[in-house]
Amino acid sequence: MNTQWNLKVGCRQTLGLAYAAILLTMSMLAVEVRADLTFGFDNITNNDAGDAVIGEAQLFVTVSDFGAGQVLFSFTNIGPDASSITDVYFDDGTLLGIAFLIDADDNGGDLGVDFTQDGSPPDLPGGNNLLPPFEVTAGFLADADSPPSSNGVNPGESLGIVFDLMGGGTLADVISELNSAELRIGIHVQGFAGGGSESFVNPPVPIPAPGAVALAALGLGAVAWIKRRS
C-alpha cells in the first residue's frame, strides 16, 4: 500500500515538475519573441571628456513593442551625475511618425519631464561629423520645453516616445534597423555640472538593461497602456 502511494506521489511530483518546466519554457519563448532591447549611447562631440563619460554611463533607450503597429522608445537617465536629455532625434527606418509622447503633460509620464514634438535645434549637434551624416527625418524629433535642462530627462527620470510603424512593420524590423545602423537615435544632453553640452548616438549593439532602465521602461509602457484603455 505504501509502495503504491509513494509511486503515485512520485508520479504527481514528476508531472508537476514537467508541467512547470513546460510553462517556464513557454514563458521564456514568449519573452524571446517580444525581445525588448536596451541601447546605450556613444559620445560624438567630446566637448568635455568627463561629461562624455557621464552620458555614456547613465543614458539609455529601451525599444519595446507597443502593439497595434507601434513601438515605444523609453529614454532613461539612471544618474547619479547631473545631466539632462533635452533633445531626441531619429533618422530613417520603418518608422512612420510620432504617435504621442509620455511625459508630464501627456499620458501620465514623469512630472519633471516635459517635451514637445519638433523643436530647436532641428538637427543633432555634431551629427554632420558622422559617416554617414546624421540626417533627422522630418518630424522625427522632440525637445524639452523651456527651461530645457529642468524639463529634460534628469537623473531618475524617463521620457517615452511612441511611434507608428509603416504598414506591416514590426518591432523586429526596428531592432534590425538599429543593429544595422539604418535607423539611428541621437540625443543632445545639457545640464552637466560644468554647464556644457554633449551629443550622443546609439551604437548598433544592444546591451543588457540595468534594473532601473528595465523598470522605467516597463513603467512607461504600463502608464501609456492604461491611458489608452481608459
Statement to judge: residues 95 and 180 lie in one domain: yes
Identify whether residues 198 and 218 lie together within a single domain.
yes
| Residue 168 sits in the same domain as residue 203 | yes
8 burial level (CB within 10 Å; 0-12, 13-18, 19+): exposed
SS3 content of the chain, % helix, strand, coil (to 5): 35, 30, 35
For residue 12, the enclosing domain spans 1-34
- Give the pLDDT confidence of 56-78 residue by residue, as tens digits: 999 999 999 999 899 999 999 99
Instruction: Please report, for the domain that includes residue 196, its CATH number.
Output: 2.60.40
Write down the pLDDT at residue 221. Answer: 56
Looking at the structure, do residues 44 and 155 belong to the same domain, yes or no? yes
Q: What is the pLDDT of residues 93-143, one digit of tens each?
A: 889 999 999 999 888 899 999 999 998 999 999 999 999 999 999 999 999
The structure's pTM equals 0.78
Q: Are residues 8 and 117 in the same domain?
A: no
The Cα angle at residue 60 between residues 30 and 167, in degrees rounded to 5: 55
Same domain, 39 and 29: no
Coil/strand/helix, residue 8: helix
Cell numbers describing residue 128? 554632420
Return the biggest CA–CA distance within the chain.
82
Which residue type does 214 have? A
Number of domains in the chain: 2
- pLDDT at 23 > cutoff 80: no
